[in-house]
Structure 1
């Protein structure tokens, strides 16, 4: 099985060498890497060139800087890299971030998981962040969800879900759609991936606006969006936070902002969320 790995990168001169070195050191060697330089103003381009000049498995794409918004920017860069390749030449399509360090057996373990389990559509490890000198589990999501920085899709699954959506919530939309099509999302807990910097630290969007927009672009109906908003407000122990999230969600709805999912996909997402709600809270 052969990997195609797309890595969007914007001003990652400090982190990117760790990511690319960890890929060069993989026990499994059959891969191609496309690093998409998304308008970097630091030395990112020069760092990429060191790898493309010395290793034929590395390629690069240069873009003008796109607006830094959660979801859309990184997926736009990913798609630009993907368009330069013939995906039929690969079995596994990966979207990796430019600030992760993979264990040496990462690709080999993922390859074996796909090879031995034809129902697997999305596979990944767990993210760990440095805290007080130790690497600890990131904990931003449940341990059954493959996080955005380390997505690996079986090509057939990737094609069936229509690829990645250029929108906030893309890394949850993919999970729901592939499961709806009968594929499985699998986390391999033995694969510890180091995340060098905290996700979302450079977004300019305010937390309440983020969640309101996220719930809207995920396609949640009003009831489920309000339930999700209440959950986030409870975490923050702030009633005003709930109303701020709702305000952002309703503003998107009033402006009829374009969703990147079809009506059928939106229904599948809401059905999945409703089943999760009944299972967890209503014990049904």
Structure 2
């Protein structure tokens, strides 16, 4: 199988070499890497040139500066890289971040999983972060969900779900839609992906506003949004946090902001979330 790996990069001069070095050191060699330089103002372009000049498997796309928008900006950069390639030349489409380090057997193990299991549509490892000199499991999501920094899709699955959506919540929308179409999302727990920096550290959006917007763009109805907001507020033991999330959600709703999912897809997402709610609270 052949991999197409697209890496959006914005001001990643210090982190990107680790990611690209780990790709060059892969035991599996049949891949192409497209690094999308997304309006960087540091030395990211020079870092990229070191690899594109010496390795024909590495290419680059340069974009102009644009405003940071959680979710949509990175997917937009990804799509700009994707459109430079013929997707039919590849079997696996990957969206990787510019600040991860992969084990040298990462691609080979992902390929084995896809070859051995035709129903696998999305495969990835587990994220680890550094704490006090040790690499520990990040733990921000369940162990059965492939996180945004290291998505690898079977081409047929990627096309079936309509690719990635330029919106907050894209890396959960893909998971829900592919499962609805009969594909499986698989995490290989033995594959540890090192995340060099903490996600969201450069976001200017406030946490409550983030959650409210996330639930809106995910297409959740009011009931499920309020339940999810209550869950987040309980974590912080802050009733005020619930009302802030709800306020952000309702503001988006009143503005009728454009969703990147269809009515049918919204229905699928809400049904999946409702089934999860029933299973957890009513054991149904």
The corresponding residue for 1:209 is 209
CA distance in 2 between partners of 1:175 and 1:218 (Å)? 12
CA distance in 2 between partners of 1:112 and 1:123 (Å)? 11
The corresponding residue for 1:281 is 281
Quote how far apart the aligned CAs of 1:281 are: 1.1
Confirm or deny that 1:30 pairs with 2:30. Answer: yes
The corresponding residue for 1:263 is 263
CA RMSD of aligned residues (A): 0.4
Quote how far apart the aligned CAs of 1:71 are: 0.2
CA distance in 2 between partners of 1:20 and 1:280 (Å)? 41
Instruction: Tell me the secondary structure at the aligned position of residue 54 of structure 1.
Output: coil
Quote how far apart the aligned CAs of 1:119 are: 0.1
CA distance in 1 between partners of 2:69 and 2:200 (Å)? 10
The corresponding residue for 1:189 is 189
Gaps of 5+ in 1: none
Matches within 5 A, 1:169-248: 169-248=169-248
* Residues 240-264 of structure 1: CA deviation (Å, up to 9, x unaligned): 0000000000000001000000000
Quote how far apart the aligned CAs of 1:198 are: 0.0
CA distance in 1 between partners of 2:276 and 2:34 (Å)? 37
CA distance in 1 between partners of 2:170 and 2:17 (Å)? 26
Quote how far apart the aligned CAs of 1:188 are: 0.2
Confirm or deny that 1:6 pairs with 2:6. Answer: yes
Quote how far apart the aligned CAs of 1:49 are: 0.3
TM-score by length of 2: 1.00
* Residues 216-257 of structure 1: CA deviation (Å, up to 9, x unaligned): 000000000000000000111100000000000000000100
* Residues 144-187 of structure 1: CA deviation (Å, up to 9, x unaligned): 00000000000000000000000000000000000000000000
CA distance in 2 between partners of 1:18 and 1:49 (Å)? 15
CA distance in 2 between partners of 1:236 and 1:243 (Å)? 13
Instruction: Tell me the secondary structure at the aligned position of residue 107 of structure 1.
Output: helix
TM-score by length of 1: 1.00
CA distance in 2 between partners of 1:83 and 1:237 (Å)? 46
CA distance in 1 between partners of 2:202 and 2:282 (Å)? 37
CA distance in 2 between partners of 1:66 and 1:201 (Å)? 18
Quote how far apart the aligned CAs of 1:66 are: 1.9
Instruction: Tell me the secondary structure at the aligned position of residue 93 of structure 1.
Output: strand
> Which stretches of structure 1, 4 residues or longer, exceed 4 Å deviation after superposition?
none
Matches within 5 A, 1:112-191: 112-191=112-191
How many residues matched?
A: 284
